[in-house]
Structure 1
Amino acid sequence: MTAVDTSGVGFRSERGPVLIALMVTTGLVAIDATILATAVPSIVDDLGDFAQFPWLFSIYLLAQAVSVPLYAKLSDTVGRKPIILLGVGLFLLGSILCGFAWSLPALIAFRAVQGLGAGAVQPMAITIAGDIYTVAERAKVQGYLASVWAISSVAGPTLGGVFSEFVSWRWIFFINVPLCLVAGWMLVTRFHEKIEKRRHRLDIAGAVLLTSGLSLVILAVLEGGQAWAWDSVPSIAAFVVGGALLAVFVLVERRAAEPILPLWVFSRRLLITTTLISLGVGAILIGLTSYVPTFLEGVAGASPLLAGLALAALTIGWPISASLSGRFYLRLGFRTTVLIGTGLAILGAVLLIVVYPNANIVLVAISCFMVGLGLGLVATPSLIAAQSSVPWNERGVVTGTNLFSRSIGSAVGVAVFGAIANSIFGASSKGETDPSVLIAASGAVFAAVLVCAAFTGVAALAMPQARVEDVEHVEAAT
């Protein structure tokens, strides 16, 4: 259990320094997800080996995704503080190593260390917020955390370009050092929790099987159609072996005394539906962030800055509605709030399909803003509903599963949207840079985003009715 004074939600309350520390650590992960994109040319010029640069992103996402369930379970066992400090420490170590990388393979390896740190930081920040704030307060706090992502989506690429052009790309990583030290110091001195001391049986077999199986499956999804063909031997082998390991993992978890990923997570209707909702959110996000800028630059002739600002409307709308979502779910309940959010997201996706043939930057930005408003009313209330339905010693696993599902949605979304676009490019004789082909490919991807939004809406319809008073008894009991 976490022992923190609960007077006030602002930064000047007893919990203020903890919230600031959570925002700083979240900012580390959020900025690092975008800051590298504009620095790739400088990195390749310095280290060479252009063909391997996509691994700078893939290995980070892979390491982050597969480690989330492990950290989530451990946090329910040993507490949140040791795990988030471990994450900050790994991120700090990875950043220092990346800054001194002497070759692209070395930089890729050190990015994996960063990813392992990020895998602990993001879910622990959200879990700690769930621990120290009440159900009524969490929407505003999650809005603060979401605003960090919004700011980072704009600041990250800008900082990456500035460091690369005027200093060195290595400072992209060195800038993390003081931020990690400040966040770690604030967590050590201001965040306190009281954990019941008892002996635990580590589920080593489950951890090895889960990590290995997920690594192979996610790797196959990320690299399918990129590093190798979908029907190639490496692709098929990765899917088959990864799937077999995960099947064995399920059998092991049924008998484990303290399973690393308890199967009860997939037996409760509220948790299943919120997990599916998170899956859809991840797919929608990756679809828009990957293809809206490319579409605007290639078809509308927008500059990278304008294209980025149009996409930023998505991440601006999210924290606005997320911070206000508490007013909705306190009055209407979680399910109704999520349904309103999915309705807005669907309308935004429909509007995008209607306006994209005209390549109007303003209308595209409005569409993205509407989707962002919808997702803020979807992601935050569904996560809070899931967190609030379980006691403290299950909250880490529930939060981790939700965020892991979002990562899976993004990973699968990348593969599916890429396959859709590539099929149109391959069927055309005009080439990928022809505006008409880009329009057709973008339209197909935007239609797929609409399908993902509709899928999220169906999952929301299946979500059980859960009002705040229905779950607060769990909070009171723990």
Structure 2
Amino acid sequence: MVIADMRVVDPLLRIIANDFGTTVGNTAAIISAYTIPYGLFQLIYGPLGDRIGKLKVMTVGISIFAIGTALCAFVPNLPLLILLRFLTGMFAAAVIPLSIAYIGDNFPYAERQTAIGRYLSALMLGQILSSSLGGIFGQFISWREIFLLFGVTSMLVAIIFWQATRHIPHQSRTQTGNISSSLKPYLQLMTKPAARLVITAVFIEGFFLYGGFAYIGAFIRDNYHLPYITIGILLSGLGMGGLLYSISVKRLVQQLGEKGLVMVGGLLVGSCYLSITILPSWILFIPGIILLGLGLNMMHSTLQTQATELSPESRGTAVSLFAFNLFLGQGIGAVVLGRIVDNTGYKTCFIVCGIAVAVLAVWFANQMRYLKQT
């Protein structure tokens, strides 16, 4: 539900912009308003999860997230929608990174990339759900009702979480302190060269890879004038590519290794972004976005696996810093790339994203030999 809510606006940017009488670039502020606090609050939830229990923190987060998401259905203007997306992003931040940290606590490193790959399949189902339902609601009902549906469904999930926490023994706090002491683990982590390398890479990935994807739906609408339901189905190909990765991850890791996954995945993503500018027919977006999803997961899951090993004694903190930079990059990227879209067009945006992701893949793959040393 968290990943579905995060990506549901991708096929709806144009229709929301029309509803509020503004541009796609301005409307993309609802993406930044969600992703920047989503990243920022990782810095709080990571140490908190390490201290009082990951599942307990996730339970509170999903509960408040559900309420905020439902309220998005009733906003009268764009500024209020931006505010609510900011608030839901704050509490959604408690869920996915702490889940990944939990996997890191319970799977040895040799099995972890496969476990994370399978976990990502659930996120990809959320991606497919959000894009498909977003298109259906945008075409036949209203973009507002999709937020109400997601909010109610998330509240049902929250109830299940609350029941699960009743069986967890109380975990007393072992640390106290002010904001500066809470930030100390992050400052210590960033003294490690391996951490700086992974964090820098994921920020760049968020900026160009995820930031650029936000505009593909609006590009398809403006250039091919397709119904929103068709756009939603096309964008769900990103999740299908993720599912393809999740069922083949073990074989891919064996054949390519981590360095090969980054290199092949990043070059595949870069090629897909560049091809958007020359596709003669919208039909070609079907395989194109699926391959984009495959390459994205090959690259991102490797970065994510490296993040779980940056600080084995406090994985919640390490993964939260990783997620903070991913979504900070995505939030800033959506704003900057939105200006490019409004001023020079979609194709310039996708060319920049394609080149940047390909260069990132080559650079990080070449730097990976230093990770084990540091």
TM-score relative to the length of structure 1: 0.65
Task: Give the equivalent residue in structure 2 for 1:141.
Answer: 118
Task: Give the equivalent residue in structure 2 for 1:462.
Answer: 367
Q: Determine which structure has the larger helix proportion and give its number.
A: 2
Q: How does 1:148-163 map to 2 (within 5 A)?
A: 148-158=125-135, 160-161=137-138
Contact kept in structure 2, 1:311 and 1:368, CA below 8 Å: yes
Contact kept in structure 1, 2:134 and 2:146, CA below 8 Å: no
Distance in 2 between residues matched to 1:92 and 1:445, nearest whole Å: 33
Task: Give the equivalent residue in structure 2 for 1:380.
Answer: 301
Contact kept in structure 1, 2:46 and 2:317, CA below 8 Å: yes
CA shift for structure 1 position 337: 2.5
Task: Give the equivalent residue in structure 2 for 1:60.
Answer: 34
**Superposed CA offset, 1:8-34 (max 9, x none):** xxxxxxxxxxxxxxxxxxx24423541
Counterpart amino acid of residue 99 in structure 2: A
CA shift for structure 1 position 38: 4.2
**Superposed CA offset, 1:416-462 (max 9, x none):** 323333443xxxxxxxxxxxxxxxx3332121012221232112321
Task: Give the equivalent residue in structure 1 for 2:235.
Answer: 311
Q: Quick check: 1:397 aligned with 2:317? A: yes
Distance in 2 between residues matched to 1:421 and 1:97, nearest whole Å: 30
Q: 2:260 aligns with which of 336, 339, 343?
A: 336
CA shift for structure 1 position 373: 1.5
**Superposed CA offset, 1:314-366 (max 9, x none):** 3321332244333333565433332232232233334x16xx33532233443
Name the CA shift for 1:449/1:39 in 2 (closer, same or farther; >3 Å).
Answer: closer
Counterpart amino acid of residue 49 in structure 2: S
Q: Quick check: 1:285 aligned with 2:232? A: no
Name the CA shift for 1:464/1:263 in 2 (closer, same or farther; >3 Å).
Answer: farther
Q: Larger C-alpha radius of gyration, 1 or 2? A: 1
Question: Aligned residue pairs: how many?
Answer: 368
Distance in 2 between residues matched to 1:361 and 1:121, nearest whole Å: 35
Distance in 1 between residues matched to 2:202 and 2:151, nearest whole Å: 29
Counterpart amino acid of residue 182 in structure 1: V
How much identity, in percent, do the aligned residues show? Answer: 20
Q: How does 1:68-147 map to 2 (within 5 A)?
A: 68-95=42-69, 97-98=71-72, 108-135=82-109, 136=111, 137-147=114-124
SS at match of 2:214: helix
**Superposed CA offset, 1:244-297 (max 9, x none):** xxxxxxxxxxxx4x5355223323333223223322332343354233333333
SS at match of 1:173: helix
Task: Give the equivalent residue in structure 2 for 1:259.
Answer: 183
**Superposed CA offset, 1:46-83 (max 9, x none):** xx897997665443334323212111121122221221
Task: Give the equivalent residue in structure 2 for 1:427.
Answer: none
Counterpart amino acid of residue 348 in structure 1: C
Distance in 1 between residues matched to 2:259 and 2:204, nearest whole Å: 16
SS at match of 2:94: helix
Task: Give the equivalent residue in structure 1 for 2:155.
Answer: 180
Q: Quick check: 1:363 aligned with 2:338? A: no
SS at match of 2:369: coil
Q: How does 1:151-230 map to 2 (within 5 A)?
A: 151-158=128-135, 160-161=137-138, 164-165=141-142, 169=144, 172-173=147-148, 175-186=150-161, 188-189=163-164, 197-204=172-179, 206=180
Contact kept in structure 2, 1:87 and 1:120, CA below 8 Å: yes
Contact kept in structure 1, 2:237 and 2:289, CA below 8 Å: yes
CA shift for structure 1 position 164: 3.9
Counterpart amino acid of residue 405 in structure 1: N
Contact kept in structure 2, 1:334 and 1:466, CA below 8 Å: no
Distance in 2 between residues matched to 1:273 and 1:85, nearest whole Å: 32
Contact kept in structure 2, 1:287 and 1:445, CA below 8 Å: no
Counterpart amino acid of residue 66 in structure 1: L
Name the CA shift for 1:326/1:200 in 2 (closer, same or farther; >3 Å).
Answer: same
Q: Quick check: 1:406 aligned with 2:333? A: no
Between stretches 73-82 and 104-113, larger displacement belongs to 104-113
Distance in 2 between residues matched to 1:423 and 1:106, nearest whole Å: 26
CA shift for structure 1 position 118: 0.8
Contact kept in structure 1, 2:101 and 2:315, CA below 8 Å: yes
Counterpart amino acid of residue 357 in structure 2: A
Distance in 1 between residues matched to 2:348 and 2:79, nearest whole Å: 35
Contact kept in structure 1, 2:50 and 2:317, CA below 8 Å: yes
Name the CA shift for 1:175/1:152 in 2 (closer, same or farther; >3 Å).
Answer: closer
**Superposed CA offset, 1:187-206 (max 9, x none):** 642796678645412232x3
Name the CA shift for 1:41/1:465 in 2 (closer, same or farther; >3 Å).
Answer: closer
Counterpart amino acid of residue 61 in structure 2: G
Name the CA shift for 1:288/1:267 in 2 (closer, same or farther; >3 Å).
Answer: same
SS at match of 1:409: helix
SS at match of 1:169: helix
Counterpart amino acid of residue 335 in structure 1: K
Counterpart amino acid of residue 408 in structure 1: L
Unaligned runs of 5+ in 1: 1-26, 207-255, 425-440, 472-478
SS at match of 2:176: coil
Counterpart amino acid of residue 80 in structure 1: K
Name the CA shift for 1:304/1:173 in 2 (closer, same or farther; >3 Å).
Answer: closer
Distance in 1 between residues matched to 2:173 and 2:296, nearest whole Å: 40
Distance in 2 between residues matched to 1:189 and 1:400, nearest whole Å: 23
Counterpart amino acid of residue 330 in structure 2: S
CA shift for structure 1 position 84: 0.4
Name the CA shift for 1:59/1:292 in 2 (closer, same or farther; >3 Å).
Answer: closer
TM-score relative to the length of structure 2: 0.81
**Superposed CA offset, 1:168-188 (max 9, x none):** 935732552343233442464
Counterpart amino acid of residue 93 in structure 2: G
